[in-house]
Amino acid sequence: MIISGKELSAQLKSDMAQEVATFPEKYGRVPHLVVILVGDDPGSVSYVTGKAKASEVVGIKNTTIRKPENISEEELLEIIARLNADDTVDGILVQLPLPRHISEEKVIAAIDKSKDVDGFHPLNVAALWQKQECVLPCTPKGIIKMLKRAGVEISGKRAVVIGRSNIVGLPVAKLLLNENATVTIAHSRTKNLPEVTREAEILVVAIGRPKFVTADMVSEGAVVIDVGVNRDPETGKLCGDVDFAAIEPKASVITPVPGGVGPMTICCLMENTIECFLRKQQK
């Protein structure tokens, strides 16, 4: 079974659009997401465009602020401070990566926690690990939604996550743990990785290496979630971390790249923006 993140996200966005359509009457306005894009890296431009398109579908107001590569850290922090203070702004997202002269850590920490729709703010991260109310990071949240929609029972399963980044690997592992899976986190120093991954009933791969996971690393009937976004060195086309053609016949459930986790990430960004908006209305 191939889980289409594209289809699921289209359904979820359509449900959200119906909900958002009721907001002007209930609350006097729709949620407002501000995306800051520094520089003109084609990958970042395409992600930001995708976020603006999704906002349009859902009916959320989207403002993209574009700044040149040489903007100073101080100026960027001033923009964020203004947006934090603006009551008409519900979500703030700074597209990563940032140029080297700007500290991503400082920028992420400068965003008001209640407007941190990416869920990267240290207070949101801490709240996640303490099981308190927080904004869940979009990619991990999207992965759990996909697993549930595919009818995958997570509780009691052996899950292996390859990758331990703050953005994907660690929070995915935490969300799987919250769902009562028994979780192993593998990384670049893991010895005998295929031995570890063959134990997985649920395998989540977030490395960033084209077709790194080969068929011999996956056990028959495993659920395989491919987070990676890479260029295939042979064809130049977009591909995941998993050798999809070789593993699809073995897996019980698998996500494709493109059209898998990626669309769900943007979908969850929309959901997070609505959640931040609603929390503010309820205060």
Among 3, 16, 125, 227, binds ligand NAP (CB under 6 A): 227
Minimal distance, residue 184 CB to ligand NAP, in Å: 12
3-state secondary structure of 91: strand
Selecting among 13, 90, 116, 118, the annotated active-site residue is: 118
* Catalytic residue status for 281: no
Smallest distance, Å, CB 233 to ligand NAP? 14
Task: Tell which residue, 240, 213, 278, 200, has the closest CA to residue 26.
Answer: 278
- In the list 136, 173, 206, 254, the residue contacting ligand NAP (rule: CB under 6 A) is 206
Tokens of 89: 């702004």
The site map against ligand NAP for 132-171 (x = CB under 6 A) is -------x----------------------xxxx-xxx--
Contacts of 192 (CB under 8 A, 6+ apart): none
Closest CA to 242 of 231, 257, 261: 257
Nearest-CA neighbor of 71 among 46, 39, 35?
39
Structure tokens at 196: 């570890």
Q: Determine the interface stretch with ligand NAP among 13-21, 64-72, 121-129, 203-211 (rule: CB under 6 A).
A: 203-211
Which of 2, 21 has the CB closer to ligand NAP? 2
Q: What letter does residue 163 receive in the DSSP assignment? A: -
- 249 phi, psi to nearest 5 deg: -65, -25
Least distance in Å: CB of 125 to ligand NAP? Answer: 14
Q: Is 228 in the site for ligand NAP (CB under 6 A)?
A: yes
Angstrom distance (rounded) from CA 275 to CA 240: 30
List residues bridging with 67 in a β-sheet: 38
Stretch that binds ligand NAP, among 9-17, 50-58, 124-132, 183-191 (CB under 6 A): 183-191
- In angstroms, the CA 262 to CA 280 distance is 28
Nearest CB to ligand NAP, comparing residues 24 and 194: 194
97 to 136: interface string for ligand NAP, x by CB under 6 A: ----------------------------------------
Residue count, binding to ligand NAP (CB under 6 A) = 24
State the nearest-atom distance from the C-beta of 265 to ligand NAP, in Å: 3
229 binds ligand NAP (CB under 6 A): yes
Show the tokens assigned to 253.
Answer: 């459930």
Distances (CA, A) of 154 to 21, 87, 165: 34, 39, 22
Residues annotated as part of the active site: 51, 95, 118
